[in-house]
Structure 1
């Protein structure tokens, strides 16, 4: 038997075919783009997801004979996107993505309503799904009136695969319509957002079988079946499955476009006042909390673009040894910020520039600014009694050893690097497909990867970075008052 993980990302889809031991057999990727028709807007055509998926499936089918033994599929997707469908299941408009901030006014209005935070366990962020529908209600009433179902991106792929409207708990927890503690749609939250229960998909746990692959796709893909489709997951919950973070004390740091610090929790411990996200895990009866910063490697990519370098060239200039905090300070708010500020309008800045400032000083400042932003999330998690003996580092930014040692020092926690490159959302999704198809216990499948190196904090520089973090924390109100 083989199993397929689908990681539906913002910039492309990645498919990973694995065997019964979660070992990779083959992978395929296809890219697509987001549209930005107005400042702060970010949209994608769901048809582009399907086209990319089908092209990647064809590549796997043609290159790996093991594809014919496929028995389970799991889909992980970028969270919060609003895919509006009519009563025939056709998209009414482009999907409004997680990093779209047009609905900040509607988000603030929903967030102020009675019981919304208490039931959802979270602040209503502008990127969440509920305020997007409020925006459509107000600005595109003819589309709103035709909306029969609202699906998240991963749930839309599940619909394509199964023909059923079904979504998992972890992804649905980011809508502001789910009672996250009770793991069910909330009529109170739906009423607050002018939505109906019949517009919601059926809910399942991420490890459950959500349905079977449609006969038409079985034929088209050359499969005999049956092929189980798992409930799936939001991208970060799937990444937690990929690195085996399912128990209290386990977690990861992800340095992707956004920066994520995630902690698995055995119980439900919401702390919306901290701007932490408290969501259902893919594992029944478990939750996770995470702090999210919107511009992590995005900050380094931006600096690389304007300096005519690539990120590897920039970080290589810093050398191998961690340096003390630089004199230039960077606030990593290129696209606003979630944890801890919940501020869609704040923007980034450099301070401390002088005639002696060079490119490497700016690079150091960017890496430190992102690390300090992650420290904000770390402090918020610690305040909820989350404990970390160590964290696993994943994402493209983890290729920079300098950056990983910097983050370990600023957090005061060892960071472990997996020995294999296959440990993220695609692997987690494949493991969900395996669980759904075989009925095996999640604990037996969601295992921790072998570690190739654990990077310890530099104790000699801890105090210097603690002092620099204190200065970073007071920079936000100062810069906010100027914007």
Structure 2
């Protein structure tokens, strides 16, 4: 047996830390994860103890050691992916001063409104993004306003993966792809914005050094190395934001391919070669993990969530495969039924938190399977909104879409995607996502591959290449035109219904 070196990709998510161990051939040899607690002290508050991430990393080292006999002797590199936007404030020594405020925490509506009203246009010009509760800057302002005694002690500001990496190396850095999601960085200049920092009284000394995702940022701390029996000087590479690193882990490296992701929320993501001012806040636009690249991202707030909501209403204990097993028996258009997946509001293209979902066209002949297919079609139409807007603003045409998440696991849904997108849809042989992308960054860092294309060729295999069927495309085009009319006709009604009762 030929002995090989390993690199480890660590994906610091909202519920767990996942590790993807890659060998020199580009093969994933081990995947493991460790969970940690989500804290919800109040409605709308989502927090975590940053030290839980560090302890999860140590547990992951132990799990890998148990599963792979030569893990500690052959590991040579580590890199990271991490949940974006979540705020950690710490003292001079890096000790967290309070629980991290996570990306999905919505306590900062007041701060967002204040920023938008008083500085929104300037923020958009500098950061290329609208001000939303998920971003880091509003969380900083919330601490300034609500916990001034904490703010007085702050000397370091981290995002999650950078906090973990600080404890592994002792070095204080943040990569451009994660910094782009803070609303503190000029994404074109790739510098912390002095204008924003001055406006909101944030000393630049509190912020990390900015680096590229592929940059070497230090070796694993000697004490940690000895504690776990690592034999090599393990090189640490910066890593990046989860969406950027996940796209790398799907092999996305050209401008004519997009990703359609159907997790709890849905994402339509495209690589960009420059900053496109015509987007003007219509999409999220961030620096990519790939040097000097960017990515645009449209979001459907309730993609998989719409399906799980409906399944739980009808058949909570049923598997998704069984629940969706008969949708192929329903014709295109669900026998004249439309569903808009706005159960939690919608992001792209409307940025409307008060819009709500609708079944349109329901009559007494409709079956449960009709409703199931309508939900799937509605989620895909919502992702189509991002595709259409992206292609029209940039005068571009996607020639391939990589489908990941729940939508990639159902053959009928894959054909529906190909037909609605009118684009070839492919899936991954093994879907590892951000953990694999982080491992790929480490593999490039230690010199296993000279180019990203070579790395992708060794690590990623596509399957299920599904082409659109022309007659289906024509039918869906007509139905999609009707779908786009539902939002303007239901907006005022659902806004009124969602208002607090008098």
**Residue 368 of structure 2 corresponds to which residue in structure 1?**
359
Aligned 8 A contact 2:162 2:173 in 1? yes
Secondary structure, counterpart of 1:441 in structure 2: coil
Secondary structure, counterpart of 1:334 in structure 2: coil
Q: 1:88 aligns with which of 86, 90, 93?
A: 93
**Is residue 2:276 matched to residue 1:269?**
yes
Bigger mean CA offset, 319-328 vs 237-246: 319-328
State how many pairs are aligned.
482
**Is residue 2:35 matched to residue 1:28?**
no
**Residue 332 of structure 1 corresponds to which residue in structure 2?**
341
Q: Quick one: structure 1 residues 272 and 98, their matched pair in 2 at CA, closer, same or farther if it must change by over 3 Å?
A: farther
CA apart distance, 1:100: 2.1
CA apart distance, 1:38: 3.3
Aligned 8 A contact 1:299 1:366 in 2? yes
CA apart distance, 1:355: 4.3
Q: 2:198 aligns with which of 180, 191, 204?
A: 191
Listed as ranges, the gaps of 5+ residues in structure 2 are: 496-502
- In the aligned structure 1, how far is the partner of 2:376 from the partner of 2:343? 14
CA apart distance, 1:223: 0.5
**Residue 155 of structure 2 corresponds to which residue in structure 1?**
148
Aligned 8 A contact 1:320 1:402 in 2? no
Q: Quick one: structure 1 residues 260 and 185, their matched pair in 2 at CA, closer, same or farther if it must change by over 3 Å?
A: same
Secondary structure, counterpart of 2:97 in structure 1: coil
**Residue 416 of structure 1 corresponds to which residue in structure 2?**
426
Please give the TM-score of this superposition, normalised by the length of structure 1. 0.93
**Residue 218 of structure 1 corresponds to which residue in structure 2?**
225
**Is residue 2:479 matched to residue 1:479?**
no
Q: Quick one: structure 1 residues 132 and 249, their matched pair in 2 at CA, closer, same or farther if it must change by over 3 Å?
A: same
Which is higher, the Rg of structure 1 or of structure 2? 2
CA apart distance, 1:78: 1.4
Q: CA RMSD in A?
A: 2.2
Secondary structure, counterpart of 1:481 in structure 2: helix
CA apart distance, 1:58: 0.8
**Is residue 2:47 matched to residue 1:43?**
yes
- In the aligned structure 1, how far is the partner of 2:279 from the partner of 2:147? 30
Secondary structure, counterpart of 1:438 in structure 2: coil
CA apart distance, 1:430: 0.2
Aligned 8 A contact 1:242 1:446 in 2? no
CA apart distance, 1:376: 1.4
- In the aligned structure 2, how far is the partner of 1:99 from the partner of 1:270? 27
**Residue 401 of structure 2 corresponds to which residue in structure 1?**
391
Aligned 8 A contact 1:117 1:272 in 2? no
Alignment of 1:431-442 (within 5 A): 431-438=440-447, 440-442=449-451
Please give the TM-score of this superposition, normalised by the length of structure 2. 0.90
Alignment of 1:299-378 (within 5 A): 299-307=306-314, 308=316, 309-319=318-328, 323-378=332-387
Listed as ranges, the gaps of 5+ residues in structure 1 are: none
CA apart distance, 1:469: 2.1
